[in-house]
Amino acid sequence: MTSHFYKSSAFFFNDGDILFCAPNAQSKGDGSQPLQVVFNVHRAIVCRFSDVLRLLFEAQASGRNDPEAVIPLPPLRIPFVEGETAAKEVPTADEFASLLGAFYFPHLLFDKVSGTPDRQVTSALYPLALLAHRFKANYLTHIIMRRVAPLWPATLAGYRALQTPVDACEAFWALRYALQLGQRSMLPTAIYAVVMRTFSGQGREAVAIDRAPEAGPSTRWDLLDESTRRKVVHVRGQLKDYFDKLEDWHCSSGIRSCTRKRVEIRELVKAPVRPQGFDVLAMLQEFAAQAMVAEEICLGCKHPLPKYQRIDQRRDEESTKIWEELQEWFAGGKKPKDPTFAN
């Protein structure tokens, strides 16, 4: 080997039967030529896990080149979301070593996140998930998503069953999984978490798009391209319109018979501080709780209050409708329907 090549300290096996090389992004050889790290690995392992590496080996073996020659990693497509520029880059030696580590030691795959809270696992595993996608390592993608996907359920029931609150910063990473890596099942929870957590509890407008990177530690607008940012803001607008219409729900659902209860419910919407922002699902839950009062007679104003035998069902129907429309709102193809909680 020339001075521009050196062996990988972790993945150069004496009994390896296939050689790959990748540039070391941290060091340079003569001029601007990067040093190349050589990996001597086992064909039976790497070609089984990665379609890209298998095709590289097959092309090398069937061509006129020396079958024992070092195979340089080619530029691989970096998946992008709408609004970003398509790009191809050669994976670095560190990236390739990280991928090989997952191939050879899959049982240790999650060791690096073993002490990480669930809400931070999504960002911790994203670099490896991106590599698996680029190298078409479908099995690796599968085991990563078995760990990540349950944190971002596709259904409303799954969202409500989450044991820990969804982290706003992690929700931006979840959007990258959904839009960049094709994990669309993560989209509803990710969208709702981003929209709900990035807006003021006082009902003020969202941080302007051109100032979004300065929104604070709980937001990562820099992870989204401008087109996706605008889609998020569009969903916010749809939810806000829906939220505003909920102010009149009590007037059409029988509670107008009790002035005191009517005032209490209006205060829920007009509260000066709402920690959950535009959390329409939480507000529907609260509205239902307020409607299902224990007393049939309001002692404050001596008016009879109606019984709500189907209030839970109504709440669930309305919440499900919102959840199912989230992705359509995100695509910009649908406007929210008026609340149907009223009789």
Res. 290 pLDDT band, cuts 50 70 90: low
Q: What is the mean pLDDT of residues 190-207?
A: 62
Domain range for residue 255? 235-331
Residue 273 lies in a domain: yes
Domain count, the chain: 2
Read off the tokens for 114: 């073993």
Any domain includes 168: no
- Domain final residue pick, 64, 91, 118: 91
Domain-located, residue 246: yes
**Per-residue b/e over 212-230, b at no fewer than 16 CB within 10 Å?**
beebeeebbbebbbeebbe
Q: Is the pLDDT of residue 24 over 60?
A: yes
> What pLDDT sits at residue 204?
38
- Residue 65 pLDDT exceeds 80: no
Q: Regarding predicted confidence, which is higher, 171 or 253?
A: 171
pLDDT for residue 115? 67
For residue 201, tell me if it sits in a domain: no
Tell whether the model's pLDDT for residue 126 goes beyond 90. Answer: yes
- Predicted pLDDT at 342: 37
Is residue 43 situated within a structural domain?
A: yes
Kindly tell me if the per-residue pLDDT of 133 is higher than 80. Answer: yes
3-state secondary structure the chain: CCCCEEEEEEEECCCCCEEEEEEEEEEECCCCCEEEEEEEECHHHHHHHCHHHHHHHHHHHHCCCCCCCCEECCCEEECCCCCCCCEEECCCHHHHHHHHHHHHCHHHCCHHHCCCCHHHHHHHHHHHHHHHHHCCCHHHHHHHHHHHHHHCCCCHHHHHCCCCCCCHHHHHHHHHHHHHCCCHHHHHHHHHHHHHHCCCCCCCCCCCHHHHHHCCCCCCHHHCCHHHHHHHHHHHHHHHHHHHHHHHHHHHCCHHHCHHHHHHHHHHHHCCCCCCCCCHHHHHHHHHHHHCCCCCEECCCCEECCCCCCHHHHHHHHHHHHHHHHHHHHHCCCCCCCCCCCC
Among 91, 107, 128, the domain-final residue is 91
Mean pLDDT lowest for which of 45-54, 70-79, 116-125? 116-125
Residue 6 lies in a domain: yes
Q: Which residues contact 80 (CB under 8 A, 6 or more apart)?
A: 86, 87, 180
Which pLDDT does position 271 carry in this prediction? Answer: 54
Mean pLDDT of the chain: 75
Tell me if 118 is assigned to some domain.
no
Residue 246 pLDDT greater than 50, yes or no: yes
Residue 95's pLDDT is: 94
**Which is higher by pLDDT, 36 or 270?**
36
What share of the chain in percent tops pLDDT 90? 30
- Top pLDDT among 327 and 144 is at 144
* Domain end call among 91, 126, 144: 91
Residue 325 inside a domain? The answer is yes
